[in-house]
């Protein structure tokens, strides 16, 4: 995955998807190579703010906005029990398995968008009402970038690794 920002004069669709891909690559890089202890280390008071917890959450967020909401495929809805563990790495989770799951979720999101690359296409998002693909992409950029910042701080606190 490329770590390049989009061309500053790119068309809107390319700019949005490239910015999202940039931050997706940051997530992968920040989680890569962390050992089991680092994956679960609670370096701030909140239980789910761990390197593994954030990556696990982003797997679900990718699925939710692109597959469940935009594509309308809600066949794999998480149970309430699964939702309660959304930010908690499981006992068999590793950095490699979570990054692989995240990469697969992002690939699926890209596939969904490629099938319907209309920024003005709208879908129902429950309590939010109608949302466009443009809104989903902007929301996912901010969601992913915010969590990339969290991972940056967690990774630096864990092993001194810095940079995006």
**What pLDDT does residue 149 have?**
96
pTM: 0.94
Q: What is the mean pLDDT of the chain?
A: 94
DSSP-derived secondary structure letter, 93: -
Sign of CA dihedral 21, 87, 49, 126: positive
Q: 26-159 in CATH: which number?
A: 1.20.120.450
Ranges of the chain with pLDDT below 70 = 1-3
Between CA 130 and CA 58 the distance in angstroms is 22
3-state secondary structure of 130: strand
User: By C-alpha distance, which of 141, 126, 147, 145 is closest to 70?
Assistant: 126
What does the pLDDT read at residue 5? Answer: 76
pLDDT in tens, 44-57: 999 889 999 999 99
Residues whose CB is less than 8 angstroms from the CB of residue 114 and which lie 6 or more positions away in sequence, other chains included: none
Residue 132 pairs in a beta bridge with: 122
């Amino acid at each position: 995955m490329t770590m390049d920002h989009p061309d500053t004069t790119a068309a809107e669709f390319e700019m949005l998807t490239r910015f999202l891909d940039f931050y997706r690559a940051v997530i992968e890089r920040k989680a890569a190579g962390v050992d089991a202890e680092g994956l679960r280390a609670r370096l701030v008071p909140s239980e789910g703010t761990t390197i593994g917890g954030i990556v696990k959450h982003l797997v679900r967020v990718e699925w939710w906005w692109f597959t469940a909401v935009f594509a309308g495929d809600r066949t794999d809805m998480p149970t309430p029990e699964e939702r309660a563990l959304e930010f908690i790495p499981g006992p068999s989770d590793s950095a490699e398995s979570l990054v692989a799951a995240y990469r697969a979720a992002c690939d699926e999101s890209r596939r969904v968008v490629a099938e319907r690359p209309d920024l003005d296409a709208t879908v129902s998002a429950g309590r939010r009402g109608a949302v466009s693909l443009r809104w989903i992409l902007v929301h996912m950029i901010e969601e992913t970038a915010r969590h990339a910042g969290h991972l940056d701080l967690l990774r630096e606190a864990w092993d001194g690794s810095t940079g995006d």
